[in-house]
């Protein structure tokens, strides 16, 4: 997998984790606020349910046990607790000389957790102590005391003058409070985990795909070597036979021309297919630069290809000003492929008796080689598309059925690898000139 892809995956992963964390954090905050609100409201509602004088008939001392008003208060607390299953304790607190004490609680007197009237609540926090003064309902906790760990909703109990006579507290076990928060956060956490898993699966697939491409590219480079060698052997063989074509009878000459034509075409097509496939594999994409004579390279390509035109009486000529030598540094095989395609096209899309002219000029540090033909030309409305993969102009298809439409697309990519350029002028029915520019 290439570096860019890996960085994209890492960026997406970090984004998902940050977004997941943020959404979970917000959900937890909302859940906590909702829990607190509901607890405060419940404590306030319970406190409001007591008659204003409820604490005026009890004194908050042990002997209250004997009073009917104490028993009534206790029965009410027990009933409220029964109606609120998640609430563990309900109690009414008072304050005397700085101590917080119990008026009554919802526990049975036989229970270990029972607090008798007047028992001091030693663990009372500063918040609870302050609650008598502020008269505002609040949430406390999670706090641990001798009975466990609790979240408490505490609301003032007012007398008929509106003064705070005591506090009503309801305790919910901390685990049930945490459970609500965990349940609320489960959805964003699960969604984040699922997204990360999907991303990991995608990453794994992409890696497998890359591995497949690597193997494919390796296979193709071996195959290309194995196929190219015998094909160039045949091209070379037909060429040497054709060099003595005067000595051959007409039929044999025709046959050898045909073989030569087909094998050159086949060799170029094999090259195109293999190179295009290989082009996708980044590792194979490197440019192997070396010092090369561009003039000699173009002449040699034209020499091989001109034989394919000879039979149709199409000649390849070099303008007299074409230099003897153009020393440059580039990837020889890749640039050879460029000219094989461009000169090959000029011959392929020429009509009998045509001339393919190769010329050169140096302009603004650019070596420009132009290949002009007197062939079928490219229809104006199709000119934009001829560098697209698999595109063949309508007149080209009629003129010569053979062709994949990959050649120029590939040529363009090869030139871009070298910082080079290709462009053309063409007129349908008159001819086409392709210009290839390479940096000095
Ligand atoms: P192949 O992949 O075998 O080269 P091809 O020659 O059709 O097939 P390209 O070389 O990519 O494909 O060229 C694309 C199209 O551009 C051609 O089909 C043809 O329509 C047009 N074309 C290219 N060169 C010329 C030319 N010299 N004269 C006229 N048309 C041309
Ligand atoms: Mg072509």
Q: Which of 179, 207, 222 is the last residue of a domain?
A: 179
Residues 249 and 328 in one domain: yes
Picking from 162, 179, 196, the residue at the C-terminal end of a domain is 179
Q: Which position has the higher pLDDT, 274 or 51?
A: 51
Structural domain includes residue 232: no
Mutation to probe ligand 1, out of 372, 378, 408 (largest number of atoms < 8 A from CB): 408
- For residue 409, the ligand 1 atom closest to its alpha carbon is 11
For ligand 1, whether the C-beta of 376 sits within 6 Å is yes
Tokens of 249: 């009878």
Residue 277, pLDDT score:
62
Q: Evaluate whether 2 touches 8 at the Cβ level (below 8 Å).
A: no
* Rounded Cα gap, residues 324 and 296, in angstroms: 8
Looking at the structure, tell me whether residues 32 and 174 fall in a common domain: yes
Of the bound ligands, which one is closest to the alpha carbon of residue 405? 1
Residue 284: its pLDDT value, please?
46
Domain that holds residue 156: 27-179
Judgement on whether residues 275 and 413 belong to the same structural domain of the protein: yes
Residue 248 has pLDDT above 90, yes or no: no
Given a cut of 80, whether residue 221 has pLDDT beyond it is no
Evaluate whether residue 265 is within a structural domain: yes
Q: Which atom of ligand 1 is nearest to the CA of 272?
A: 2
Question: Is 249 inside any structural domain?
Answer: yes
Q: Evaluate: CB of 42 within 6 angstroms of ligand 1.
A: no
Looking at the structure, tell me whether residues 151 and 250 fall in a common domain: no
Regarding whether 292 and 421 lie in a shared domain, the answer is yes
Q: Give the pLDDT confidence score for residue 280 in this predicted structure.
A: 54
Q: In this model, does residue 323 exceed pLDDT 70?
A: yes
**CATH number of the domain that 429 lies in?**
3.30.565.10
| 287 and 166 co-located in one domain | no
170 and 290 housed in the same domain? no
**Of the ranges 193-207, 233-247, 271-285, 405-419, which one carries the lowest mean pLDDT score?**
271-285
Contacts by 274-279, CB closer than 8 A, 24 or more apart: 274/220, 274/221, 274/223, 274/224, 274/227, 274/228, 275/224, 275/337, 275/410, 276/406, 276/409, 276/410, 277/216, 277/217, 277/220, 278/217, 278/220, 278/221, 278/224, 279/410, 279/413
Cβ of 64 closer than 6 Å to ligand 1, yes or no, is no
- When pLDDT is averaged across residues 62-71 and rounded to a whole number, the result is 93
Query: Model confidence over 384-412: pLDDT tens digits?
Result: 999 998 899 999 999 987 888 888 988 99
154 lies in the same domain as 79: yes
Ligand 1 pocket test, candidate residues 348, 350, 405, 424, most atoms within 8 A of CB? 405
Cβ of 373 below 6 Å from ligand 1: yes
CA distance 51 to 62: 22
Nearest ligand to the C-alpha atom of residue 372: 1
Domain count, the chain: 2
d(CA 293, CA 365): 16
Same domain, 298 and 383: yes
Would you state the pLDDT for residue 228?
A: 75
Measured CA distances, 144 to 40, 141, 352 (Å):
19, 8, 102
Answer whether residue 374 is part of any domain.
yes
Q: Is the CB of 314 under 6 A from ligand 1?
A: no
Residue 195 lies in a domain: no
With a cut of 80, say whether residue 220 has pLDDT above it. no
Q: With respect to residue 340, please indicate whether it lies within any of the assigned structural domains.
A: yes
Average of per-residue pLDDT values in the chain: 89
Residue 226 above 80 pLDDT? Answer: no
Average pLDDT over residues 278-306: 80
Q: Which residue has the tokens 């409070």?
A: 177
150 beta partners: 143, 173
- CB of 406 closer than 6 angstroms to any ligand 1 atom: yes
pLDDT value at 282 more than 80: no
Number of H helices and number of E strands within the chain? 9, 12
Kindly identify the ligand whose nearest atom is closest to the C-alpha of 403.
Answer: 1
Ligand 1 pocket residue status of 378, Cβ below 6 Å: yes
Among 135, 157, 179, which residue terminates a domain? 179
CA of 346 to the centre of ligand 2 (A): 9
Tell me, yes or no, whether 237 lies in a domain: no
* CA of 408, closest atom in ligand 1: 11
Q: How far is Cα of residue 349 from the mean position of the Cα atoms in its chain? A: 44
pLDDT tens across 183-215, in order?
A: 888 988 999 999 999 999 999 998 898 888 788
User: Is residue 387 one of the residues assigned to a domain?
Assistant: yes
250 and 333 both lie in a single domain:
yes
> Does residue 45 sit in the same domain as residue 156?
yes
Alpha carbon distance 310, 326 (integer Å) = 27
Q: Is 408 in the pocket of ligand 1 (CB under 6 A)?
A: yes
Band of residue 240 on the pLDDT scale cut at 50, 70, 90: confident
CATH number, residue 175 = 3.30.450.20
Q: Indicate if 397 and 305 belong to the same structural domain.
A: yes
pLDDT in tens, 3-36: 778 888 899 999 999 999 999 999 988 988 888 8
């Amino acid at each position: 997998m290439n570096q860019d892809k890996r960085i994209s995956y890492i960026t997406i992963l970090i984004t998902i984790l940050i977004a997941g964390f943020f959404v979970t954090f917000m959900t937890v905050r909302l859940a906590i606020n909702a829990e607190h609100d509901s607890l405060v409201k419940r404590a306030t509602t319970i406190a409001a349910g007591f008659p204003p004088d409820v604490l005026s008939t009890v004194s908050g001392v042990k002997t209250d046990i004997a009073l009917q008003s104490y028993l009534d208060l206790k029965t009410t607390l027990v009933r409220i607790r029964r109606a609120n299953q998640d609430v563990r304790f309900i109690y009414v607190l008072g304050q005397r000389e700085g101590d917080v004490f119990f008026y009554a609680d919802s526990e049975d007197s036989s229970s270990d957790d029972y607090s008798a009237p007047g028992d001091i609540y030693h663990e009372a926090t500063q918040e609870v102590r302050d609650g008598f003064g502020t008269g505002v309902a609040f949430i406390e906790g999670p706090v641990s005391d001798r009975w466990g760990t609790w979240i408490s909703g505490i609301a003032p109990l007012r007398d008929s003058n509106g003064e705070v006579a005591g506090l009503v507290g309801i305790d919910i076990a901390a685990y049930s409070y945490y459970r609500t928060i965990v349940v609320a956060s489960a959805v964003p956490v699960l969604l984040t985990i699922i997204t990360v898993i999907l991303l990991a699966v995608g990453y794994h697939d992409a890696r497998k795909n890359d591995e497949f491409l690597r193997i494919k590219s390796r296979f193709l480079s071996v195959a290309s070597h194995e196929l190219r060698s015998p094909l160039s052997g045949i091209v070379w063989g037909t060429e040497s036979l054709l060099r003595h074509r005067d000595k051959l009878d007409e039929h044999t000459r025709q046959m050898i021309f045909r073989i030569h034509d087909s094998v050159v075409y086949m060799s170029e097509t094999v090259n195109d297919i293999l190179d295009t496939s290989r082009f996708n594999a980044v590792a194979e994409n490197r440019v192997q630069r070396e010092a090369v004579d561009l003039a000699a390279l173009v002449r040699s390509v034209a020499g091989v290809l001109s034989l394919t035109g000879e039979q149709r009486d199409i000649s390849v000529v070099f303008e007299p000003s074409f230099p003897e030598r153009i020393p440059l540094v580039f990837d020889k095989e890749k640039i050879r492929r460029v000219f094989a395609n461009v000169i090959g096209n000029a011959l392929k899309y020429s009509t009998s008796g045509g001339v393919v002219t190769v010329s050169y000029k140096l302009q603004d540090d650019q070596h420009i080689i132009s290949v002009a033909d007197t062939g079928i030309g490219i229809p104006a409305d199709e000119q934009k598309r001829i560098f697209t993969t698999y595109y063949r102009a309508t007149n080209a298809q009629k003129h010569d059925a053979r062709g994949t439409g990959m050649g120029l697309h590939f040529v363009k990519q090869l030139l871009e690898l070298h910082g080079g350029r290709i462009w053309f002028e063409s007129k349908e029915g008159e001819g086409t000139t392709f210009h290839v520019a390479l940096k000095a």
